[in-house]
A and B are shown apart, each in its own frame.
Chain A
Amino acid sequence: MSDDEEQYNPKSHKKLLQAISNLGNVQHIRKSTRDERQLQQDEFQLVKRNNTSEHAARAVGVSDLVQILRTSKHVETGKKLKNVHSSKKVLEKPLEKPAADRIKRKIGYEGVKKKLGRWDAIVAKQRSAETQIFPIPSDTIYINTAAHVKNLKGRIKSDLAKQLEASDQKLKELRKAQIGDTTDEKALAKQERELLQKKLTRDELFARRKELAYLKMRESQKSAKARMQNKIKSKKYHKLQKRQKILEQIKEFEQMQKTNPEAALEKLNALEKSRVLERASLRHKNTGTWAKNLQVRAKYDKDVRKDLAEQLSVSRQLTEKKIESDSEDEQMIKVETEASAPTDPFNPWTKGKTAKKVESQADSEDPNWRKYWTERNANEKLLAEHQADLETVKEEKQQEKPTKKQKTKSIKKKKANVTVENGWVVEEVKSSAKGQTIDDIFEKHEEDLRQKLSKKLEKLKKQAEILKQPKTKAKPLKKKRDELKNLKDLSFKKTKQRIEIDEPLNQEEEQVKPSLDVLNKLTSTEEAAAEPSADSAIDPNKVTTITVKQKMRDSDVMNDALADDEEADYDETDAAAERQLTISQAFEDDDIIADFNKDKTKESEIKNAEIQLAMPGWGSWAGAGISQEVMNRRNKRLLLKLAAPEKRRDENRDNLYINETTNKQARAHMVSSIPFPFKSLADYEASIRAPIGRNFVPETAFRMMTRPAVITRKGQVIEPMDESELLKPDRRLRHVVDRRIDRLPVKEKAKIK
């Protein structure tokens, strides 16, 4: 063995080798320890995981767990775990980071939007408020501190009080000694409680508690059920329920008939009585809330009127039934007498009779509903007939009209397609027309109105359809949702319109004309075509033309609103135009020019006028008629001759009217266009006309009307809107004026504003 061999130590050699192989594995960078919480890991502190070494701890897998469980007594659990592991699908690969982030951002933004949307109502309210007070007044909470006040312990007692106390004590002791009663109620209660507690064993207590819990549960269940049932609005459900109830009652009744006939009879009587009562009651008259509501609507709606009429007729039937049974003959006579009178299908009183006439009396055995339906059908038939009749009447009249006006009405005639009936029918209607009463005229007008209404409705429907169509078309193209819709919906119309002037400040004397001119030029070409041709009849009083300023504004909201209004007004304007047309046609013969000239000469009417200034009796102190000559002379002296009237500037011009009363200087002070929030001249004029000064209105009104829009207090920090504002109930009004305004009836409020 050489020295070298001797020196070779396998152990140390192995150690060396391991050290060499481990060289790469040694990590000089330690895993970072965090002393501050932070979400982001620094890239320089990332450490490689030590997987290569055998001693390093490996993460525990499911299979390991299963293995362990198999060996232990939990074999089943191990199986289950394995099953779960094998049967469940592997999660999908997560989205790429940018996509995932985008989704997160979207969700976050939606959340914030929703959160911000909570403020809509408050902001809308604040914006429409007539006066806003800052800082926003917070509600003061009053706590009754008196209830919690404790008496001072170290109270000094007077001698008298001490004596009284001592005597009281004595009395108590005496009582105890004599009767053995303890008036101390607290002690008594305590005793009782202790006794009760002693009596109950543990099981009993449990049982009692269970029972109580069960009861409580049942109660809550029942109440919940009841609440649910109360909330059900389904008519079908209620109908079914009612039917069930009736069935039950019938069953009961049948049973009773068998067992206790007397009681059954009684019940029958009771039923009969209730029916009678119901019939006698005014339930089916037009006094109920339903009927009243209908009455309001009846003015505008044909169907509603029909319903009302039906209702009335039903009530009449119900009330009349008894009489009917007594004397049928009388009725028959009545019907015969009234048959000749003109009938209105909407008059329930007459209609009932006609209906009866139509119906044979044999039908009277039918159940009520049957009768009702036959009647209704008959009514409808009648109505149709009636309408046809009316139309023929109209036709007749139109034919009667002189030829002069036929030209104007020809258009209308074309529209109405009237069926011409036989001569004899016409004759008959004529005769009835002769005996026309005011009612008939009204009826006819009503009919006209109805027709107009129905026409209008149709028109509206068509418009609505047209409006609907593009929307449905546009939907698939682009889903545009208005994010601020809620805010817009919540916003009120401002009660007090304040003029908003949103114009640049005029910094130079020369106005900002040039830009406007350009705009005008641009717009004028477009407007020229749209503008209607000037009317032949010009109102000389309207010298200045007033334009609505909103046209120039580009705010979307405003335009939308205007557009809506235009659509809404469409029909009205149409109608108005028609009306105007007819008026102008009606006054065709009148000479407008003559009138115009008359206007011109009106002012210069007092031509060469002389005014006698002498007063009767004045100067003739000795009585009347002393000397006619003197009187004449005096009268001559007192005769005031007016100077010749000034020549008008437009005297020799026939078709010119120069208003000489206007003041050029005043022109500079007059408004030429309606300022922004106002939409009509009338509104603006009204707002200007009402005075607000102390000299013209009472003090309180003055205070109310001059209240500033924003009130702030000096030296107070105005905090931003707080979350508590979201939950706040209506604030109690502090200011006297506010309270007084609040107390006013609605009408008065409208006046002030």
Chain B
Amino acid sequence: MKVKMISRNPDNYVRETKLQQHKIPRNYDPALHPLEGPREYVRALNATKLDRVFAKPFVCNLSGHRDGVACFGKHPKMLSTLATGAYDGEVRIWDLANRCSVRSFVAHDGFVRGIAYARNAEHFYTVGDDKTIKVWSSQAPEVGEDEEPVNTILSRHILQGISHNRKDNSFATCGEVCAIWDAKHNDPIKTLKWGVDTLHSISYNPVETNVLACCASDRSIILYDQREAQPLRKVVLTMKSNKLAWNPMEAFNFTVANEDCNLYTFDTRKLQTPLKVHFDHVSAVTDVDYAPTGKEFVSSSYDKTVRIYHAHQSHSRDIYHTKRMQHVVCVAWSLDNRYIFSGSDEMNIRMWKANASEKLGVVRPRERANFNYQEALKEKYAAHPQIKRIARHRQVPRHVLNAQRKMRSVKDKELVKEANVRKHSKKGTVPFVSEKRKHVIRQDV
């Protein structure tokens, strides 16, 4: 009987060093690869399908609040910490890594309207409906000690929001007036007024830190400079803006979440027309937050969904929703560009992946290379109909679908009507107005 011995030369398969790659004999002559195009296409198709298969963005749910979640405060240095305020005045500090709340205390009577961490993250400020600004230490108190604010400032005016300067110790509150405060004084350094009842959202520019902007109840957005004695400018939109977020990488761009289901991205230097109108929500947009890369932003809406947009595109790239999530009130993008937090009416805080199909955990270099290749392929063949169809298909709640249909039919009707009017009137009397120009009413100097 003949026995065939399997013999292998270890030189052929054992690496000499850890980093050594196997040599792959390969001929790159394109003549030898006549089907490279189709092969790559199939790979792209598969990658897109897998992308949708693995698209499970929901990470976890943080429950503990006993009333709807009103606002978020992002810790500027620690990624695993998040402060949240609720309608009942409770503030909770969350340890995101362990998905549990570390501290919880009642900070205000009534709503907590805003939370902002100080520059060095040693303290954080909360404002509430009780007209107080409270300063809290970031360190939890010792065991047995009560939670007590480091400082409590009584404000003369109603407070609706707070924002902290990124570079110095000043912070700003809004309410009846826009007030600039210093950390060391109990009276505002400056109050800026421009004949508006209520300012309900305020935001410091993270890059050009003297500039800040407010959303006012008279449907306007007001720009301020911390150093000036007067506000700078006011733009009035067709409907009220709920929140404002500055682009952290492009100092002059900001986005507002508007009551009319749209978001508007403006350039501070050219306020008469927005740079982009972001559609797709079917109900009032309640909050918006930029990704730290400044490339994308996330918005939450009263229609119980969270949408992610490219900063320069008018339609969303993704939509997140769950059956149990009610009206989303606040939203935040984590500072490492990986996660999105959404707080909603039904007392829960949800954590989502910013990239729905991203793999969590350790990614080895070869895996990384493969992911990159898949991404590149998806991008290359993005315009192919099948790939586009698969990549952009989303299942949405029935009510969103219905609302969308309704909105579309309304829009179509308007279009038809406008066309008819144009057809039957004298040439030039009915001008074409671009979508961008429709929403800005005027600019006050």
Contacts and interface: CB of A to CB of B under 8 A. Distances in A.
Interface of A: 36-40, 101-102, 104-106, 108-109, 111-113, 115-117, 119, 123, 126, 132, 134, 482-484, 498-508, 512, 514-515, 518-519, 522, 554, 556, 668-673, 675, 687-689, 691-698, 702-703, 705-708, 710, 712-723
Q: Sorted from nearest, which 4 A-B pairs have the closest CB atoms?
A: A718-B292, A720-B248, A675-B383, A720-B206
B268 A522 contact: no
B251 interface: yes
A102 B248 CA distance: 30
A718 B229 CA distance: 33
A504 B373 CA distance: 26
A113 B337 CA distance: 29
Contact of A36 (B185, B269, B392): B185
B393 A505 contact: yes
A116 B268 contact: yes
B181 to A, nearest CB: 11
A326 B37 CA distance: 76
A672 B388 CA distance: 12
B228 interface: yes
8 contacts: A101-B230, A109-B233, A499-B380, A514-B408, A706-B369, A708-B372, A714-B336, A718-B293
B15 interface: no
Given A102-B445, A518-B416, A717-B77, A693 B269 contact: no
Contact of A498 (B40, B210, B379, B395): B379
Nearest to A496: B379
Nearest to A106: B445
B83 to A, nearest CB: 16
Nearest to B234: A105
A293 B415 CA distance: 58
B270 A484 contact: yes
B385 interface: yes
Given A502-B315, A708-B372, 6 more contacts: A119-B250, A515-B408, A675-B382, A717-B79, A718-B337, A720-B207
B279 A504 contact: yes
A104 B228 contact: yes
A134 B315 contact: no
B208 A515 contact: no
B434 A554 contact: yes
Nearest to B252: A116
B375 A717 contact: no
Contacts of B56: none
Contact of B336 (A483, A695, A717): A717
B197 interface: no
Contacts of B198: none
Contacts of B412: 514-515, 518
Nearest to B318: A505
A105 B232 contact: yes
A691 B252 contact: no
A712 B404 contact: no
A721 B293 contact: no
B28 A696 contact: yes
Contacts of B376: 692, 705-706, 708
Given A104-B228, A507-B395, A501 B408 contact: no
Contacts of B313: 500, 502
Contacts of A484: 267, 269-270
B131 interface: no
Contacts of B293: 132, 134, 710, 712, 718
B336 A119 contact: no
Contacts, number: 232
A522 B292 CA distance: 42
Tell me the interface secondary structure of chain A in the complex. loop
Nearest to A34: B187
B163 to A, nearest CB: 13
B377 A692 contact: yes
Interface string B23-51: 00010101001001101110100000000
A672 to B, nearest CB: 7
B316 A707 contact: no
Contact of A696 (B30, B225, B393, B434): B30
Interface of B: 26, 28, 30, 33, 36-37, 39-41, 43, 76-77, 79, 166, 185-191, 206-208, 210-211, 223, 225, 228-233, 248-252, 267-270, 279-280, 292-295, 310, 313-319, 335-338, 369, 372-373, 375-377, 379-386, 388-389, 392-396, 400-401, 404, 408, 411-412, 415-416, 419, 434-435, 445
A712 B292 CA distance: 10
A522 B417 CA distance: 11
Given A36-B186, A508-B401, A672-B385, A720 B249 contact: yes
A515 B404 CA distance: 12
Contact of A669 (B251, B386, B445): B386
Greatest chain B CB density within 10 A among A112, A702, A712 is at: A112
B40 A692 contact: yes
Contact of B33 (A119, A482, A514, A696): A696
Given A669-B41, A671-B385, A715 B319 contact: no
Contacts of B267: 483-484
Nearest to B272: A483
A720 B167 CA distance: 11
A718 B225 contact: no
A716 B335 CA distance: 8
Contacts of A499: 379-380, 382-383
B248 A506 contact: no
Contacts of B188: 38
Nearest to A725: B207
A501 B383 contact: yes
A123 B310 CA distance: 16
Contact of B392 (A104, A117, A505): A505
Nearest to A669: B386
A560 to B, nearest CB: 13
A13 B117 CA distance: 69
Given A36-B185, A522-B415, A692-B377, A669 B392 contact: no
B312 to A, nearest CB: 8
B415 A519 contact: yes
A259 B329 CA distance: 102
A108 B225 contact: yes
Contacts of B319: 505
B315 A504 contact: yes
A696 to B, nearest CB: 5
Given A483-B267, A484-B267, A506-B394, A695 B232 contact: no
Contacts of A507: 393-396, 400-401, 404
Nearest to A136: B249
Contact of A134 (B210, B228, B292, B379): B292
Nearest to B408: A515
A108 B228 contact: yes
Contacts of A40: 191
B380 A715 contact: no
Contacts of A720: 166, 206-207, 248-249, 292
A536 to B, nearest CB: 32
Contacts of A715: 79, 336
A407 B398 CA distance: 70
A691 B42 CA distance: 13
Contacts of B336: 712-718
A43 B414 CA distance: 54
Contacts of B41: 669
Contacts of A518: 412, 415-416
B207 A119 contact: yes
A36 B230 CA distance: 21
A530 to B, nearest CB: 17
